[in-house]
Structure 1
Amino acid sequence: MSELGPLTGEPLALDLVNTRTAGGDLLTTPAELRAWLRLQADRLPLPEVLTEADVVAVRRVREHLARALDRARRGDEPLAADLGALNRAQRAAPAVTELSWNGQAVTAARRRVAGSAGERLAAWLAEAAAELLADPAVTRVRECEADDCVMVFLPAHPRRRWCSAARCGNRVRVARHYQRHKPPA
């Protein structure tokens, strides 16, 4: 992972896309995937064992999502190949709503019981991608305005310009301040 770690806190699908940074890819090994999944522990199950094939499956979903998102956020039709790949990823590990009794009431929990660990993980992520792409808010997804940043975000406030005020926003403000106050050459 990068020295600052991955950007998290956006919708899960955007957090996945944001594992591609200007400095490289944050998901190249099972250990890196496990570290990212720990950051997403409240939203995704953490498989006991992760393999290179699992990393490939997650990265494949991420690439199809990134291309579809790039088009959908501009109001353009995503490529059928990208949507089809996301649909296939979900079908590889279908979700079921498992009912149980907790002693007081019936509870329902979504589970994926079929497929390898990587297929189940890719299916969860493809489902998050489907939810984001079908949400009308997808057209509000923005790219960070910092020159060297490739992160995307869904702004809660219409004036938000950076992926993170603490990361890019601060760097941009410091650079502007330096430009205004630098000594003459």
Structure 2
Amino acid sequence: MQDTTHTDSRLALDLALTIRHDGHGGVADDLSDLAGLTAWVREHAETLPDASELSVDETTLAAVRDLRAAVRALFARAVRPGAPSPADATRLVPVPEAVARLNAAAARTPTVPVLHWTDDTEPVVHRQPSPRGTDLTAVLAQAAIAFVSGADRRRLRACPAPRCVRYFLKDHPRQEWCKPSCGNRARVARHHERHKQGGRP
């Protein structure tokens, strides 16, 4: 994984965005099954180490979904006093539990002992990350920790447009929505609401 804040931010945000508006007034889950998780991992091959070798099974799927719930709970906290995404606002994981989930998952990074023994010293063993056996949830948890502890957290917003459930990074002071189509939808909704109220502003 490229060790940059932008990459970490994008990966953590993209994980949260696997919960999205389905285009029909409901909410879709891109990680509802193994095929969805496999496709998502492949789409992020550039930021996930050894993406082609990651084993994806039901246990991994459940762990990633649990981690995503924790990430979205922390995103909801990060956007306060603004409202969280309506997709899960009524069933957010408590913040202490979300933090514990992230820390536990991040700790699952496999390590190996590495021997150092130079002239005139005693042998010393250090542990370092294993070049093999990458744990997907550990990578995602570390990306999420980098995001919530970094500067991008302050730019995080929940899109207030009707039916949108996305989080986004605010790129400029006047940005209100995650994308222009949401802005258009919000303006149309406001127009209809004013019309229903007899034209009152």
Q: Equivalent residues in 2 for 1:25-104 (5 A)? A: 25-45=29-49, 46-48=51-53, 49-74=55-80, 79-94=95-110
Q: Per-residue deviation at 1:175?
A: 6.2
2: distance between equivalents of 1:122 and 1:31? Answer: 17
Q: Is the deviation greater in 170-179 or in 62-71? A: 170-179
The alpha-carbon deviation at position 20 of structure 1 amounts to 0.9
Unaligned runs of 5+ in 1: 1-9, 99-109, 181-185
Q: Distance in 2 between matches of 1:35 and 1:160?
A: 31
* Stretch moving more, 154-163 or 56-65: 154-163
Q: Is this contact kept in 2: 1:30–1:52, CA < 8 A?
A: yes
Q: CA deviation at 1:122?
A: 0.5
Coordinate RMSD, CA, aligned = 3.2
Can you list the C-alpha shifts for 1:49-69, whole angstroms capped at 9, x where unaligned? 421211111111111111122
C-alpha spacing 1:32/1:111, structure 2 compared with 1 (3 Å)? farther
Q: Is the 8 Å Cα contact of residues 94 and 123 (structure 1) preserved in structure 2?
A: no
- Secondary structure at the aligned position of 1:169 is classed as helix
In 2, are the aligned partners of 1:93 and 1:114 still within 8 Å (CA)? no
TM-score by length of 2: 0.64
| 1:1-185 aligned within 5 A | 11-22=10-21, 23-45=27-49, 46-48=51-53, 49-74=55-80, 79-94=95-110, 113=131, 120-165=135-180, 167-172=181-186
SS at match of 2:176: coil
Q: Which range moves more in the overlay, 16-25 or 144-153?
A: 16-25
Once residues 30 and 47 of structure 1 are traced to their aligned partners in structure 2, the CA distance between those partners, rounded to angstroms, is 15
Q: Which runs of 4+ in 1 moved over 3 A?
A: 110-115, 169-180
Pairwise CA distance, 1:179:
8.7
Percent of aligned pairs with the same residue?
40
User: Contact 2:78–2:156 at 8 Å: present in 1 too?
Assistant: no
CA contact under 8 A between 1:142 and 1:155: conserved in structure 2?
yes
Distance (Å, rounded) in 2 between the aligned partners of 1:73 and 1:179: 26
In the alignment, the residues of structure 1 paired with residue 66 and residue 145 of structure 2 have an alpha-carbon distance, to the nearest angstrom, of 15
The residue identity in structure 1 corresponding to 2:59 is A
Task: Report the Cα offset of residue 157 of structure 1.
Answer: 1.3
Change (3 A) 1:174 1:40: farther
Structure 2 unaligned blocks of 5 or more: 1-8, 22-26, 82-93, 115-127, 195-201
